[in-house]
């Protein structure tokens, strides 16, 4: 989900109100009763991904950050695993010139949740680091 938000993907879906075309970030919190028909996006000009990987019986990452820059140079950052669904990190995007500040700013964009794998407290400590890693990786690629 986060990678799709980072690349600015759109979702075409169908439901009781008919067909709809929405950004992934708008679709996710309103997806109940909707059938995804199509997902589309333009390939990004650059991108990066950082995740907390923990050996566990489950095959998902408890927290991850995706970043992508489109052909116009617009940076989008998103987090997966912070809450019920992926979310964009606009405060981190605004501070992207300073990766440390962007990492701290990302905390204001999401409310961390607890689950059986990792606590919200721990997620709050990981998110700034993952944001910094993504931004540093994207800088290294440019």
For the chain, the helix, strand and coil percentages under 3-state DSSP, each to the nearest 5: 35, 30, 40
pLDDT band at 110 (very low <50, low <70, confident <90, very high): very high
Sequence-ordered list of residues with C-beta below 8 angstroms from that of 100, at least 6 positions apart, any chain: 128, 132
Residue 107 has pLDDT above 70, yes or no: yes
Among residues 7, 10, 42, 16, which one has the least CA distance to residue 28? 10
Average pLDDT of span 116-142: 92
Instruction: Put residue 47 in one of left, alpha, beta given phi > 0 → left and psi -120 to 50 → alpha.
Output: beta
What percent of the chain clears pLDDT 70, i.e. is strictly above it?
Answer: 94
pLDDT digit string, tens, across residues 19-76: 999 999 999 998 999 999 999 999 999 999 999 876 665 667 789 999 999 999 999 9
87 close to 5: Cβ distance less than 8 angstroms: yes
Residue 141 has pLDDT above 80, yes or no: no
Give the least confident one: 5-9, 55-59, 79-83, 93-97: 55-59
Backbone angles phi, psi at 79, to 5 degrees: -120, 140
The predicted pLDDT at position 26 comes to 94
The predicted pLDDT at position 55 comes to 61
Average pLDDT of the chain? 92
Question: Running DSSP on this structure, what letter comes out for residue 97?
Answer: T
């Amino acid at each position: 989900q986060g990678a799709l938000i980072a690349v600015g993907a759109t979702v075409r879906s169908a439901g009781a109100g008919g067909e709809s075309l929405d950004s992934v970030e708008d679709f996710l919190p309103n997806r109940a009763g909707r059938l995804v028909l199509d997902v589309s996006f333009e390939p990004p000009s650059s991108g990066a991904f950082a995740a907390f990987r923990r050996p566990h019986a489950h095959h998902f990452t408890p927290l991850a950050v995706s970043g992508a820059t489109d052909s116009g140079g617009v940076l989008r950052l998103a987090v997966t695993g912070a809450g019920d669904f992926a979310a964009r990190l606009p405060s981190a995007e605004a501070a992207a010139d300073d990766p440390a500040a962007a990492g701290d700013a990302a905390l204001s964009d999401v409310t961390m949740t607890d689950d059986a794998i990792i606590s919200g407290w721990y997620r709050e400590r990981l998110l700034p680091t993952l944001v910094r890693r993504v931004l540093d990786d994207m800088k290294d690629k440019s």
